[in-house]
């Protein structure tokens, strides 16, 4: 009896999505699908998602890569320690307000984003630093 035919690439992608296969693996298959279908747009988009958007201006990032987030800080103020204190952008020093908002752009490739999520543990928050957070005013 002959072997059953191999599933189509589209069927594989559908199965992978239902089976929670890594997004990176699904994107690789989408690159193949874009090539077979003659869709440079699909192929280019999937490749961009895999490698990230390092050379893209924030205004040109896809909207789904700009995530609303709260700003929280940990600090020692005199004899007191503050943990997870929520800070609004309007409470930041004036020179920082134009650079720091409650929207976080994610330029990383999907593998790095997945590693951040996996490293946060079950039900935990992904923590990232503010741009220029090593800067301190004197």
Do 84 and 43 reside in the same domain of the chain? no
Tokens of 88: 């609004």
Find residue 85's DSSP bridge partners. Answer: 73
Q: Identify whether 137 is part of a domain.
A: no
| Predicted confidence band of residue 135 (pLDDT cuts 50, 70, 90) | very low
Average pLDDT over residues 47-76: 92
119 & 102 share domain? no
pLDDT in tens, 62-72: 999 999 988 88
Domain assignment present for residue 135? The answer is: no
Residues 85 and 40 in one domain: no
Which residue in 87, 56, 50 sits closest to 72, CA to CA? 87
pLDDT greater than 80 at residue 120: no
State the total domains in the chain.
2
pLDDT at 53 over 90: yes
Do 6 and 47 share a domain, yes or no?
A: yes
- Residue 60 banded pLDDT, cuts 50, 70, 90: very high
Residues 47 and 113 in one domain: yes
Q: What is the pLDDT of residues 21-31, one digit of tens each?
A: 999 999 999 99
For the cut 80, the answer to whether the pLDDT of residue 125 exceeds it is no
Non-local CB neighbours of 40 within 8 Å, separated by 6+ positions = 34
**Residues 75 and 92 grouped into a single domain:** yes
- What is the rounded radius of gyration, in angstroms, for the C-alpha atoms of the chain? 21
Q: Which residue has the tokens 């089976």?
A: 19
Q: Is there a single domain that holds both residue 18 and residue 85?
A: no
pTM score: 0.74
Domain that holds residue 73: 56-107
Asked whether residue 131 is assigned to any structural domain, the reply reads no
**DSSP alpha helices (H): ranges in the chain?**
9-18, 23-37, 40-51, 94-97, 110-120
E-strand stretches of 1-138: 66-68, 71-77, 80-87, 103-105
């Amino acid at each position: 009896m002959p072997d059953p035919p191999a599933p189509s690439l589209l069927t594989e992608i559908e199965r992978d999505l239902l089976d929670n296969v890594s997004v990176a693996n699904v994107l690789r298959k989408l690159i193949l699908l874009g090539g077979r279908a003659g869709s440079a747009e699909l192929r280019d988009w999937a490749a961009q998602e895999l490698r990230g958007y390092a050379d893209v201006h924030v205004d040109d990032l896809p909207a789904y890569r700009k995530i609303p987030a709260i700003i929280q800080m940990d600090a020692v103020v005199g004899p007191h320690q503050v943990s997870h204190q929520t800070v609004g952008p309007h409470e930041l020093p004036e020179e920082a307000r134009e650079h720091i908002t409650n929207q976080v752009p994610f330029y990383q490739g999907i593998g790095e984003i997945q590693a951040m999520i996996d490293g946060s543990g079950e039900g935990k928050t992904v923590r990232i630093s503010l741009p220029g957070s090593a800067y301190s005013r004197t």
